[in-house]
Amino acid sequence: MAPESRAIVLLSGGLDSTTAAAYARREGWALYALTIRYGQVHQQEIDAARRVAIALGVRQHAELDVDLRAFGGSSLVGEGEIPKNRELGEQALQSPRPQIPTSRGSSIPSTYVPARNTVFLSLALAWAEVLGAERIVIGVNALDYSGYPDCRPEFITAFDYLASLATRAGVEGRPTRVWAPLQQLTKAGIIRLGLELGVDYALTHSCYDPSPEGAPCRRCDSCQLRARGFDEAGVPDPLLSPAC
């Protein structure tokens, strides 16, 4: 791979996207980070993405406003309460298709934002065409996640195929490929990989419903998954004080 090979990284400031970006950097890709302000109910993850982008030395960090609050459909954009203290259990934490009951009777939680990854990947694909980027890096994983349909391997494979059809680069035989390097890792495995890569997880943010000061709630699905990951990895979460 040429030293100047470019990759667009969908960077949320979370644990997964940060680790995926660090891994791509180690593999020799020049990173161009894309962060989306989609109407999420707090600013902390945007701030985290900025910190991570600086730490990873990305070539350019683009921030776009795509306000999905206009559609609603998710507690992450202010429609309803963020669920707390749910029993995730072994199946929810480790199954590729966890069954997580919600008040709507669905296995998909209210924090799912309709078509979010489809929208994000489409924007990344547009920028990739402009830059001539060969990869789009996304930090989804199919093992320790909250049951979102657009984190599954089937979705990544389908969008990768779409990218080969929908762009000039694809038609000309040089399609931008969608790369999910963490796809088959557990949260603990992702953390171990990140530590090998020198990731500073104190820069990241995972909580769906932080305090005004940015402290994690520790009770939402994302906080529980993160806590389980650090526990299984056998290392402390740097966002939490030693006394906690």
Please classify residue 190 by burial: count the beta carbons closer than 10 Å to its beta carbon, then call 0-12 exposed, 13-18 middle and 19+ buried: buried
pLDDT at residue 96, as a whole number: 38
Please indicate, yes or no, if residue 186 is contained in any of the structural domains: yes
- Six token digits for residue 12: 């949320």
Please indicate, yes or no, if residue 220 is contained in any of the structural domains: yes
pLDDT at residue 98, as a whole number: 38
Q: What share of the chain has pLDDT > 70, as a percent? A: 88
pLDDT confidence bin for 4, thresholds 50/70/90: confident
User: Which CATH number goes with the domain that contains 115?
Assistant: 3.40.50.620
Convert the pLDDT of each residue in 10-69 to its tens digit: 999 999 999 999 999 999 999 999 999 999 988 999 999 999 999 999 999 999 999 999
Convert the pLDDT of each residue in 156-193 to its tens digit: 999 999 999 999 999 999 999 999 999 999 999 999 99
Q: Mean pLDDT over residues 99-119, rounded? A: 72
Structurally, how many domains does the chain consist of? 1
Please indicate, yes or no, if residue 238 is contained in any of the structural domains: no
pLDDT confidence bin for 109, thresholds 50/70/90: confident
Is the entire prediction scored with pTM above 0.95? no
Tokens 């929810």 belong to: 92
pLDDT at residue 105, as a whole number: 44
Please indicate, yes or no, if residue 240 is contained in any of the structural domains: no
pLDDT at residue 99, as a whole number: 38
3-state secondary structure the chain: CCCCCEEEEECCCCHHHHHHHHHHHHCCCEEEEEEEECCCCCCHHHHHHHHHHHHHCCCEEEEEECCHHHCCCCHHHCCCCCCECCCCHHHHHHCCCCCCCCCCCCCCCCCCCCCHHHHHHHHHHHHHHHHCCCEEECCCCCCCCCCCHHHCHHHHHHHHHHHHHHCHHHHCCCCCEEECCCCCCCHHHHHHHHHHCCCCHHHCCCCCCCCCCCCCCCCEHHHHHHHHHHHHHCCCCCCCCCCC
pLDDT confidence bin for 95, thresholds 50/70/90: very low
What residues are paired with 64 via a beta bridge?
36
Please indicate, yes or no, if residue 152 is contained in any of the structural domains: yes
CB atoms near residue 70 (< 10 Å): 8
What is the domain range of residue 65? 6-233
Please indicate, yes or no, if residue 204 is contained in any of the structural domains: yes
pLDDT at residue 47, as a whole number: 96
pLDDT confidence bin for 143, thresholds 50/70/90: confident
pLDDT at residue 2, as a whole number: 47
